[in-house]
Amino acid sequence: MKLKEISDGYFAGFGRGELPYLRCGGCGHAFYYPRNLCPKCSSGELALAASSGKGKVFSCTRIKTRDPARSPIYAIVELPEGFRMYTNVLADSAEIGDDVEVVFREVEGRIFPFFRPAGDAAP
Ligand SMILES: [Zn+2]
């Protein structure tokens, strides 16, 4: 698969409300960041798959700004399919181990995945 196909597949998935990731056909490794070769075994035999989007905060930090409402929480979220991804958690606070779920937001005309506390009623 070419990188452009992978990238297009990711944005198509975001548009459908799905969180895509890549699974290596060579060694089974799952990863999020779009690449056309497996970072573990260098195989190009990759397949797009869709995650449940329900994960746990693996690590997080709040970047403090003057406006507390605009102080983002940067996090690494671990998904049950076996991969981790860098993301933002949309919440007032987050702790390691918190259950979070994917939510999609438009940023400068494109849809991107973010996370929020699991079961949060906000859209
Ligand atoms: Zn591999």
Residue-wise DSSP of 94-108: --TT-EEEEEEEEET
Q: What's the pTM value of the predicted model, to 2 decimals?
A: 0.90
What's the CA-to-centroid distance between 23 and ligand 1, angstroms? 8
What's the CA-to-centroid distance between 38 and ligand 1, angstroms? 5
What's the CA-to-centroid distance between 82 and ligand 1, angstroms? 13
Q: What angle do CA 32, 36, 40 make, to 5 degrees?
A: 65
Taking only the tens place, the pLDDT of each residue in 12-44 is 999 999 999 999 999 999 999 999 999 999 999
Residue 65 above 90 pLDDT? no
Over residues 60-67, mean pLDDT:
90
Structure tokens at 4: 């452009």
What's the CA-to-centroid distance between 53 and ligand 1, angstroms? 22
What pLDDT, on a 0 to 100 scale, did the predictor assign at position 58? 98
Residue 70 above 60 pLDDT? yes
Domains in the chain (CATH in brackets) are 1-51 (no CATH), 52-123 (2.40.50)
Residue 48 above 80 pLDDT? yes
Pairing state between β 83-89 and 46-51: unpaired
Taking only the tens place, the pLDDT of each residue in 80-110 is 999 999 999 999 899 999 999 999 999 999 9
What's the CA-to-centroid distance between 81 and ligand 1, angstroms? 15
Angstrom distance (rounded) from CA 26 to CA 16 = 28
What pLDDT, on a 0 to 100 scale, did the predictor assign at position 100? 98
What pLDDT, on a 0 to 100 scale, did the predictor assign at position 68? 72
Spatial contact of 117 and 99, defined as CB atoms under 8 Å apart: yes
What pLDDT, on a 0 to 100 scale, did the predictor assign at position 122? 59
Structure tokens at 68: 């507390």
